[in-house]
Structure 1
């Protein structure tokens, strides 16, 4: 009886000291013999060390798993990068372009309106006149002058023929260069919603409103000049009265290469061709807008 109590007391002490020991004692129990229960064998400390090592490995694995879970959560809830992906930027750009295109298609008035036209007949005569002067000069330069040289004519006569051939093209180019054939106005989207909105915009037009002035070049080719309402100023008596509007071309010429044409700064706009005329169809001349532009340019007069 005494040995049994001693064995049970030893087992209870082992159970209270280590959970692994309680699990092992509950599994293998005390050794029994004829004399009764005896103390556990000497292999019990070795088994307890194995169980303790297994428990430590399980605890380490548990902590490691918790660390990986916390790391994954940290990665999942990390702040997004400030740099956007190219795909997202491309999608936003396409969406913005589509919305802008849809808004533009719904506008009633086109982006560019013609507000001045010199007339088809006048433009045709002007172009033919320029081409004729070129042909006359070419005939004198490439046919008459070589024939005078081959015929041993006096040098004075040869020079006179060459000068006579150059006079028409120089005179026509100088006198007709400022003649304006078309003027287009470029409207912002806010002014293209409807006709009443356009009229309100024209009455309060800004000085930065852009115009495209078309003239005829030396060989009859159209020449375009981009100006603003604030740049135009009315003048009188310029170039024998053939110029009634001028602008400062120094800033624009400073940005051009030496081989490029100089910016055109003198214009001749014939008044009274489409005075106060209003057209609703696309492609017609809205002369009333040019009348408002002309009144606006009076404040630029010096």
Structure 2
């Protein structure tokens, strides 16, 4: 009797363990990620622009805080001091003005149905909803990535800054809600040369949808 009782008690954990381990439903496999890169500016262009921004920052620091003060201590307020000061400020302002809208990447958030296959993604791209979310990555002044999450309905085709800016959105309400010490929201974008390899036709559909929203 003791042997039978011990054997029964020993068998109970195994039975409970088998009952606890239930078959898990198979994890659905998707052909595309949740955030699909639909726009890529190209690695050479991104690298060059990042190096240009950092180099301009070094030039500003060198001429503004090393060269100009040295000439000022030796000559006082002179044309040389003015030239060195302009050598620090002008490149920084020019690079900041012309490169701030540059878009490095654009990712689109896909619904599960659009991630299943290329055919389903093409169907989704042919009728992209207005509330589709885009994560647009630009560069800050120090070449740090800045991600702006926008809806497709917010973008408008424009031509500003001598053609540098081709997409824009209204950031008035967003900037009003931000603290004074925070950077202003990015409202102008330059996305013109797409080198995405996987699904570049999605970006073409997005551009077509934006063109239809021209105000």
**TM-score (norm. length: structure 1):** 0.60
In structure 1, stretches of 5+ residues that fail to align are: 1-97, 278-283
Q: Which residue of 1 aligns with 2:110?
A: 187
Q: Does 1:125 align with 2:48?
A: yes
What RMSD in Å do the two structures reach over aligned CA positions?
A: 1.9
| Native 8 Å contact 1:113 1:285 kept in 2 | no
Q: Which residue of 1 aligns with 2:121?
A: 198
1:294 aligns with one of 207, 211, 214: 207
Cα distance in 1 between the residues matched to 2:31 and 2:164: 38
Cα distance in 1 between the residues matched to 2:77 and 2:100: 35
| Residues 235-285 of structure 1 deviation map (CA, whole Å, 9 limit, x = unaligned) | 12x1121111111111211221111110111111114x44xx8xxxxxx44
Off by >6 Å, runs of 4+ in structure 1: none
1:205 Cα shift?
Answer: 1.1
Pairing of 1:1-302 with structure 2 (within 5 A):
105-236=28-159, 238-271=160-193, 273-274=194-195, 284-302=197-215
Higher helix share: 1
Cα distance in 1 between the residues matched to 2:105 and 2:35: 12
Q: Partner of 1:298: helix, strand, or coil?
A: helix
Q: State which structure, 1 or 2, has the greater radius of gyration over its C-alpha atoms.
A: 1
| Native 8 Å contact 1:253 1:262 kept in 2 | yes
Number of paired residues?
192
1:159 Cα shift?
Answer: 3.6
Cα distance in 2 between the residues matched to 1:154 and 1:231: 49
Cα distance in 2 between the residues matched to 1:202 and 1:212: 16
Q: Which residue of 2 aligns with 1:15?
A: none
Cα distance in 1 between the residues matched to 2:199 and 2:31: 15
**TM-score (norm. length: structure 2):** 0.83
In structure 2, stretches of 5+ residues that fail to align are: 1-23
Q: Partner of 1:133: helix, strand, or coil?
A: helix
User: Which one scores higher on RCO, CA 8 angstroms, separation ≥ 6?
Assistant: 2
1:121 Cα shift?
Answer: 0.5
